[in-house]
Chains A and B, each alone.
Chain A
Amino acid sequence: MTEVKAIPDLRHWLAKRGFGAAFLIIRIHARLDDFEGAILGNQHALAVDVAREIVVDCAYIRAFDRIGPLPRSGIEWWLSAEPLEHLDDRSADLLRQICLPVTQDGLVPIETGLRALVAETEALLDVPVALPIVRDRNGYFPALRLAREWLALVESVDLPPIMKKEWLSS
C-alpha cells in the first residue's frame, strides 16, 4: 500500500538519516565485525573496548533528535556531543554488562545485545531498505550506490557531505 509520510523539517530529516546511515554503514557495522574478530582471536580487552564503543556510537545516533544531527567519521571529534547523558534503559544495561568483569562466555549475550541495539538504531532512521553491509561480499557496491544517492541529497540543501567524496568518485 502506498504510504505518505510528512516531513516537517527537511534539513533535520535529511541530516539525521544521511549522517546516521553513513555512520552505521562505515563505522558501526565494521565495529560489529571487530567485536566478532576479537572473540575469535581471544582478544578479550579489545572485545570489551569495541563493545563499549558500539553502545556509545549507537547512543550518538539516537541522540540526534535531542542534540541535533552531527556528521562524524573516524575517531570522536565532537567533544561537545553528549550521547551518554540520556541513555535509554537497554543501552545503559548493556553498557553496565560490558563494563563489569566479563568472561569469554559472557561475551556471547553481549554480542546478541549489541546486534539488537544496532538493528534498533537502524530502525530509528526509518530507511526504507535494509542498510547494506559494506564488508559483506555482496554489500560493497550497494553501499556505494546508496552513499552516492545520499551525498547528492544532503548536498542539495548545502549540508556537509555524509562521507568523503573521494571515496565515491569512481
Chain B
Amino acid sequence: MTSIVADDEIAALLAHVEPVFGAPHAVLKSGSIAAGLGNPKSDIDLLVLVPSERVTKFPILSHEGERIVDAEYISLPRRTRIAADIRDRVEPSHLPGAAALHARYENLWTLSRLAIGSVLHADAAAGAFLAGIKEPWLAEAISEFWALEAWRRWSVARWLYAAKPRTAAWRCGMALFAAADARLASQGQYYVNPKWVSEKVARAADPALRAMLERARAGMLIDSPGEAEAFVESASGLLDELLAPFAPLPRLVTELRLADGVSLRSAGGSTILAYHDLHGAEIRDHGLRFDPDAPTWSGGVGDVPPGAVMALFERHLLWPSIRAGGDAR
C-alpha cells in the first residue's frame, strides 16, 4: 500500500510541517490516499513524529491547492511504548468503558496509518520504530479488535430486537460492517477507518464479504420485531463463520458495568444512578452489584440480561463490553 512520493511533492508537503514541538523524527504521508482508497475530496494526511512526550495527538490543518493538509503531531516515545504494549499483548483488546475502547481504537488507527504511510523524512530512531510496526502483529491486533467489536454490537442487537427493532437492526448491520473490517485486516487491508469498508471490499475479490455488506445494508432498514429477530439470529452464523479465527465465540464473555461518568447515590432503600447528573434512574430492591471494578452482569454472547439490568443499559447507565475468556487470545 506504500506509494512512492516524488521529490518535489516531498518538499511541498514538508513545507506544511512546523517545528512547534521540536525537530521531527519523521514525517509520513498517510491516510486514505496512501491506502489507495481516497477521492478528490480526501485530505492529505501527514503524520509528524516528534520527540516530545507531551504531544498525544495534535492536528493542524492547512491547504495545498484544493486539498486540505491535515498534519497530525504525535510523540515518537509514546507511540513506541503503545506499539510495544499492543505487540506484547500487555492488555486485552477490549477493556471495559468508553475511554478504554476509544483509546484502543485511536491507537490502532494511528499505528495503521503509520504502517501504510510513505516516509517523507525519517531519522534512525523513527526508522527502527516504523520497521517494527510493519509486522503481522499489527494486522492481527486490528483483526481481533474488529472481531470483538462485531460480537459486542451483535450482542446488543440480540438484547434489543423485541423492544427496539430498528436499533437492533442497525446494531446488527454495524456488527457485520465490523466483521468485514476484521476479515479485511487479516487479508492485509488493515488501515483503520471504518468509513472506507465498501472501497476495501471492492478491492478484496472476496464474494463472501460483498454478500455480507449487501445483507448488512438491507437489514439496516428493518423496523418490525419479527424481521429484526430473523436478521439478528441469521447474522450470528455468519459472524461465527467469518470471525472464529480471530474471536472464537465459545470463549467470549459479554459484560455490563457502570458506564464512565455514572455516579451512585443511596438513600431510604433506593439507589440512584446518574450519568454526569444529566439523566439517571432510581432502582429499588434490586440486589444488583454496582462496583466500578466488576461487572453488574455477565454472560455468554447471545445471553440476554434480566429486565432490571436491561432497563439500566437502555438508559445509558451500564456499558456493554466483551472479553475473551479462558485461554482465548
Contacts and interface: CB of A to CB of B under 8 A. Distances in A.
A166 B56 contact: yes
B129 interface: no
Contact of A135 (B20, B40, B61): B61
Contact of B276 (A37, A135, A159, A170): A159
Interface in A54-109: 56, 67-70, 73-82, 84-85, 87, 95-96, 99
Contacts of A34: 41, 195
B277 A11 contact: yes
Interface stretch (B84-92, B97-105, B290-298): B97-105
Interface residues of B, number: 54
B325 interface: no
Given A68-B316, A167-B58, A45 B198 contact: yes
A82 B314 CA distance: 9
A135 B167 CA distance: 31
B41 A166 contact: no
A85 B167 contact: yes
B59 interface: yes
Contacts of B316: 67-68, 70, 78, 80-81
Interface string A108-125: 000000000000000000
A96 B318 CA distance: 32
Nearest to A84: B166
A37 B57 CA distance: 26
B45 to A, nearest CB: 13
A135 B152 CA distance: 33
Nearest to B316: A80
Interface centre among A53, A85, A137 (most CB of B within 10 A): A85
A49 interface: yes
Interface in B189-244: 194-199, 201-202, 213, 217-218, 220-221
Interface of B: 20, 38-42, 55-59, 61, 63, 68, 98, 101-102, 105-106, 152-153, 156, 160, 164, 166-167, 170-171, 174, 194-199, 201-202, 213, 217-218, 220-221, 261, 275-279, 313-316, 318, 320
18 contacts: A12-B278, A15-B278, A37-B39, A37-B42, A40-B39, A45-B199, A68-B315, A76-B174, A80-B316, A81-B316, A82-B160, A82-B166, A82-B314, A84-B170, A87-B166, A159-B278, A166-B56, A169-B58
Interface of A: 11-12, 15, 33-34, 36-38, 40-41, 43, 45-46, 48-50, 52-53, 56, 67-70, 73-82, 84-85, 87, 95-96, 99, 134-135, 137, 140, 158-160, 164, 166-167, 169-170
